[in-house]
């Protein structure tokens, strides 16, 4: 069971909550027990799980990454988007969520975010649900 989610980021750094889309894919799969694997096949984007209740958390993460990894910093990479590659490495390219009784076992405050670091762009997220 493999599905793609199309993402349209609107700015250079853009965190997009994709929890509901992933829940819909899980519902359609009819898989009740297993693992939901969410993967970003891009080198300047990432995927992470964190709080989606208070939007300030998302802003704090974005702002802190910006400070740690500034866009201009005498990087070698000629394309000019080295900061986006570095943020992608730090955030990571995938998350796995246990599935039980047809539900994602996310904590109360957890959501799944696509993280754009070199937008705006059209992106894909791959969702693979493995029964077991
Ligand atoms: Zn590049």
d(CA 93, CA 130): 18
**How many angstroms does the Cα of residue 73 sit away from the middle of ligand 1?**
14
Q: Which residues keep their CB under 5 angstroms from ion ligand 1?
A: 79, 81
Give, in words, the CATH class of 2-131: mainly beta
The stretch 88-105 carries a mean pLDDT of 98
**How many angstroms does the Cα of residue 118 sit away from the middle of ligand 1?**
9
pLDDT of residue 61: 97
The stretch 45-50 carries a mean pLDDT of 98
**How many angstroms does the Cα of residue 88 sit away from the middle of ligand 1?**
11
Q: Please state the domain extents for the chain.
A: 2-131
**Sign of the torsion angle spanned by Cα atoms 75, 80, 82, 83:** positive
pLDDT of residue 36: 98
Look at phi and psi of residue 92 and say left if phi exceeds 0, alpha if psi is from -120 to 50, else beta: left
The stretch 58-77 carries a mean pLDDT of 97
């Amino acid at each position: 069971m493999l599905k793609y989610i199309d993402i349209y980021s609107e700015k250079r750094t853009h965190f997009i909550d994709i929890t509901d889309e992933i829940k819909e894919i899980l519902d359609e799969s009819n898989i009740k027990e297993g693992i939901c694997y969410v993967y970003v096949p891009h080198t300047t984007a990432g995927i992470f799980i964190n709080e989606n209740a208070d939007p300030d958390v998302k802003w704090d993460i974005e702002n802190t990454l910006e400070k740690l990894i500034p866009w201009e910093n005498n990087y070698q990479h000629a394309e000019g988007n080295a900061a986006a590659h570095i943020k992608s490495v730090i955030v990571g390219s995938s998350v796995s969520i246990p599935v039980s009784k047809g539900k994602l076992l996310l904590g109360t405050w957890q959501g799944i975010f696509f993280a754009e670091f070199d937008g705006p762009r059209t992106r894909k997220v791959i969702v693979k649900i493995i029964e077991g």
